[in-house]
Amino acid sequence: MNHPYRWVIVAAGGVLGCVAAGAMFSLPVLIRPMSQDTGWSVTGISTAMTIGFLAMAAASMVWGNLSDRFGPRPVVLTGSVVLAASLALGSRATSLIEFQLLFGALVGAATAAVFAPMMACVTGWFDTGRGLAVSLVSAGMGMAPLTMAPLAAWLVTIHDWRGAMLIISAITAALMIPAALLVRRPPALEPGGAEGAWADAQDDMTLRQAVRSPQFVTLLLANFFCCATHSGPIFHTVSYAVTCGIPMIAATSIYSVEGLSGMFGRLGFGLAGDRFGAQRVLVIGLLAQAFGVLAYAFVGGLGGFYAVAVAVGFIYAGTMPLYAVIIRENFPLRMMGTIVGGTAMAGSLGMSTGPVLGGLIYDAYDSYAPMYVASCGMGLAAMLILATFRPFPQRRGELAVA
């Protein structure tokens, strides 16, 4: 089953994730030029990102189910085309509501066509080393803040925001469409594949039974609270640093430190998950994440922010790929896209809470400290929920080997 082509799948997934995430997260870089050019409010433009997260949540399970039925290639290819087209149309928007629909709803939904199907696809190509494989794909997604965001920042200095977004659209099409064409179903799901030789003990489980199982519900809740834990700190830490007297440019660099640290976190957690078990490592990671985000409340200088950013970036980025590994160990391969899409839906909903709740807390208390305390509480909830997860019985293939 460990076919050499599996590494092509990993590489394609990394490229697709990097470009898709980078295209969506180019918006924060373009907000100020857009507001100055159009007169649209910063809040209104930022709302497009919240709409994008909600669209990702709504579309994730749908795209995942379609990838189970028709294979990941047509789904990822469709998402790539729609994403590029949405960016191009968004660059021509003449009203705020039009932009919110084009960039928010369409870009968010198209981005969801990449994440869940590719994570599900990659796990199906690996019998061993799944933690490292999904972490490498996730690391590609994590490259977005270090590649696409600086590119967008450079483009907007030599073009207006419309030209910059149109160029990003062209780059998206040029990179994602060829990468999508490299994607293939796992061999076990191809006609004549040997899924039965190594399938799960639950290979007679129906999709209805899967989505109603305590295991699925537990993973949904854990991922929701996990993403809600780091959502507020991700969106508000730069503002918090500015209130501490740190210049905006230096405060913005905290994100870069967090993103760079996350690259190593994905690889570290992936290797640890393969060696010690994905669930055990994820529970420890969620506990560490809870106290990591709380540490932001106790720093005030740039050095302190950098130190916490290194720890938090390493932890939260490292934990995310392990959900796909746990899913693959417990659910049949033929429904991986749907189940991964379901947890991605929960994660997107969790991410959508941070900007709003963080803002409400700051307005109410004139301080970001309560937000970090609340984030810590949600992190502890995620850890306790995942600790209750009870795996399905072992796979027949593993029992036979034993």
394 confidence band (pLDDT: 50, 70, 90): low
* Structure tokens given for 175: 């990179």
CA distance linking residue 275 with residue 271, whole number of Å: 6
Displacement of CA 232 from its chain's centroid (Å): 15
Q: Picking from 72-86, 148-162, 199-213, which range would have the lowest pLDDT averaged per residue?
A: 199-213
Tell me which residue has tokens 């004139």.
366
Highest-confidence range of 151-160, 238-247, 295-304, by mean pLDDT? 295-304
> How many CB atoms neighbour CB 88 within 10 A?
17
In a 3-state reduction of DSSP, which class is residue 8?
A: helix
The superfamily (CATH) of domain 1-185 is MFS general substrate transporter like domains (1.20.1250.20)
> How many CB atoms neighbour CB 198 within 10 A?
17
Of the candidates 106, 102, 156, 144, the residue with the CA atom closest to the CA atom of residue 14: 144
The average pLDDT across 269-282 equals 90
* Structure tokens given for 120: 């599900």
Q: 99-106 — which CB contacts under 8 Å span 24+ positions?
A: 99/40, 99/45, 99/48, 100/44, 100/47, 100/48, 100/51, 101/51, 103/27, 103/48, 103/52, 104/47, 104/48, 104/49, 104/50, 104/51, 104/52, 104/55, 105/51, 105/52, 105/55, 106/55, 106/82
Q: Picking from 21-30, 140-149, 184-193, 274-283, which range would have the lowest pLDDT averaged per residue?
A: 184-193
Per-residue pLDDT tens over the stretch 337-374: 899 889 989 998 898 888 778 878 888 888 889 999 99
Q: Picking from 30-39, 214-223, 315-324, 369-378, which range would have the lowest pLDDT averaged per residue?
A: 30-39
Please state which CATH number belongs to domain 205-390: 1.20.1250.20
- What pLDDT, on a 0 to 100 scale, did the predictor assign at position 360? 82
Q: What is the CA radius of gyration of the chain?
A: 20
Q: Are 323 and 282 in contact (CB under 8 A)?
A: yes
Q: 302 or 4: which carries more pLDDT confidence?
A: 302
What does the angle CA 256 – CA 47 – CA 315 come to, to the nearest 5 degrees?
35
What is the average pLDDT score of the chain? 86
Per-residue pLDDT tens over the stretch 299-327: 989 999 999 999 999 998 889 889 988 99
290 confidence band (pLDDT: 50, 70, 90): very high
Per-residue pLDDT tens over the stretch 249-265: 787 778 778 888 888 88
- What pLDDT, on a 0 to 100 scale, did the predictor assign at position 202? 57
In the chain, list all ranges with CATH 1.20.1250.20. 1-185, 205-390
Share of the chain above pLDDT 90, in %: 39
Of the candidates 90, 86, 84, 103, the residue with the CA atom closest to the CA atom of residue 180: 84
pLDDT surpassing 90 at residue 288: yes
CA distance linking residue 68 with residue 62, whole number of Å: 10
Q: Are 212 and 334 in contact (CB under 8 A)?
A: no
Tell me which residue has tokens 């470009």.
19
Q: Are 231 and 356 in contact (CB under 8 A)?
A: no
The average pLDDT across 66-93 equals 93
Q: 332 or 73: which carries more pLDDT confidence?
A: 73
